[in-house]
Amino acid sequence: MMAKTKNKYGQYFTSASIAEYMVTLITHDVSAKVLEPSCGEGVFLGMLEKHGFGNITAYEIDPTLDNPYEYVDYRSFVSSPEDENFDVIIGNPPYIRWRNLEEHLKAELAQSRLWSLYFNSMCDYFFIFILKSIEQLNDAGELIFICPEYWMNTTHSESLRDYMVAHGSLTDIYHFKEVPLFEGVASSFVIFRYVKSVAVASMNVWRYAGKKRPTTEGLQKASSFVLTTVPQFEPGERWIFATSEERLSMISFERSCRKRCLPVASSGDYYRIGDFCDIGNGMVSGLDKAFRIEDVSLLNERERDALIHVYKAKDLRCFRNVSDSYYFFVKEDIDEETFANRYPNVYSRLIPYRDELSKRYSYGKELKMWEFAFPRNEALFRRPEYRIFVPCKERISNKNHFRFAIADPETFPLQDVTGILKKSNCRESIYYLLAYLNSSRVFEWLKHNGVVKGEVVEFSESPVASIPYRPIVWENAREVELHDRIVQATQQYVRTADAALLPIIEKNLEKLFYEQD
């Protein structure tokens, strides 16, 4: 059964292949007492019966669904009795952000003891399904859910994660990254198996190796998943799928960035890029093809003076750019006739795009045809200093690096690029920052701790600002020497693209990470 359009109850219907696979993860025998708390049209119920389970309870809030199972109780699981316990709870809970909830669902949550204890209006509707399910499990009972991945590392879901750590253990997480499990849904999904009141030191993370929606046969193949064993999660931490070795490396990295006034680094006690850099997302033209000037020789002098040099994400590589372009950019308060007289060649270029330009999102202002839709952070990028650019989104599948690239003071980022400029308190060279951001340490940290959706890491202002930073201790001659070596090799690589310089840069950075003050 394919997924259907999401309705007011946050329903995304699970495929038969996924439902059957989840049922095969149950370790209890067929005499187990089983609950499906949001059974939809009954795909899980059918698979449970197919595999011999008969003691089944099911809830469904939407009575309009075509469900053939007579034992389905058409009521909300949220307000169902809390005193009935189960050996197995399995399903696909509804996904709705608070702002999108129906008013009667908000009112129901307001009356919920569990919601009031653990959650607030920043939380997703499915959080209550996870927590209430665990409350109603018997000891050693198992919860098997499919849901979006994002809650495993966001701040507003910390109470749910800590509750889960305190009341049991995750044994298995099946990570599907960006595989389209549900029709029309661009999100990263996981299946997890959780056991109540049982301490498990480590868990299995199964990364799905395919890219297409999995079939029943494909899910059963051992080669469909790549297995990693990771330590059990701890209270107060984001859930990241890192091995013990990777965690130790990240802890070491964060400690090397600790604030000098503190003897030991813990969460929040280390320097971050945002402490030393100003960060801004690039400017938005609203229609790049209209503003990009490919042949500068066709312009008059005034028009050439109005050009800005820009990098887009496609222009960037690790450390340096490989291409660029020029865009027309003016902010004069003039009428169209005056504009046409002053900038005749640009005007002729824009006219064929008039209709498309008029439909740009205007960010609440009246927008003239020749104006950028949103010249955000223009003042920041007018500063006469070198800067670092990185694509706002970077796919990391089959990669071991990001694309932080140097740009000169006259170059602007467009909307798919984020810019980084030094603050006045940053004594390190911009080339030291460039090397640092392109280092393997930063890559590994961001892969696990950045804003990651599926295989894509986001580099907007906040995620870039949060990257741990290792400033130089300028009173330490050895650190100053390493800084200068890193800067020299990085400058040379930017000029020559000599790959032999990259291990030299990395080696000197590694020495710095282990320097003790």
Note the pLDDT tens digit of each residue in 387-441.
Answer: 999 999 998 876 788 999 999 999 999 999 999 999 999 999 999 999 999 999 9
Asked if residue 103 and residue 210 are part of one domain, the reply reads yes
HEC secondary structure over 169-213: EEEEEEECCCCCCCCCCCCCEEEEEEEECCCCCEEEEEEECCCCC
Q: How does DSSP classify residue 398?
A: T
- Coarse DSSP helix, strand, coil percentages of the chain, rounded to the nearest 5 percent: 35, 20, 40
Average pLDDT (443-468) is: 88
* Residue 488 placed within a domain: yes
The CATH code of the domain that includes 165 is 3.40.50.150
- Average pLDDT value for residue range 285-299: 95
Using pLDDT thresholds of 50, 70 and 90, give the confidence band for residue 117: very high
Same-domain status, 24 and 85: yes
Residue 352 within any structural domain of the chain = no
Are both 20 and 82 inside the same structural domain?
yes
Between CA 144 and CA 146 the distance in angstroms is: 7
The per-residue pLDDT for 14 is 86
pLDDT tens digits, one per residue of 172-188: 999 988 788 877 666 78
In-domain check, residue 257: no
- What total number of domains does the chain contain? 2
237 lies in the same domain as 279: no
Integer angstrom CA distances of residue 491 from 389, 418, 473, 495, 502: 16, 21, 21, 6, 11
DSSP of 353-383, one letter per residue?
GHHHHHTS--TTS---TTS-SB-TTHHHHTS
280 and 219 in a common domain: no
* Backbone CA torsion sign across 424, 430, 436, 442: positive
Same domain? For 227 and 280 the reply is no
Question: Is 504 a domain residue?
Answer: yes
pLDDT band for position 10 (cuts 50, 70, 90): low
Do 281 and 196 belong together in one domain? no
What confidence tens digit (pLDDT) does each residue in 189-219 have? Answer: 999 999 999 999 999 999 998 888 888 888 9
- Name the average pLDDT for the chain: 91
**pLDDT(98) > 90:** no
Query: Whole domain around residue 225: which residue ranges?
Result: 16-241
**Looking at the domain assignment, is residue 59 inside a domain?**
yes
User: In sequence order, what are the residues at sequence separation of 6 or more whose Cβ sits closer than 8 angstroms to the Cβ of residue 41?
Assistant: 1, 13, 65, 66, 67
Q: Indicate which CATH number applies to the domain containing 414.
A: 3.90.220
Q: Helices (H) and strands (E) in the chain — how many of each?
A: 20, 20
89/83 Cα distance (integer angstroms): 15
- Within a domain: residue 228? yes
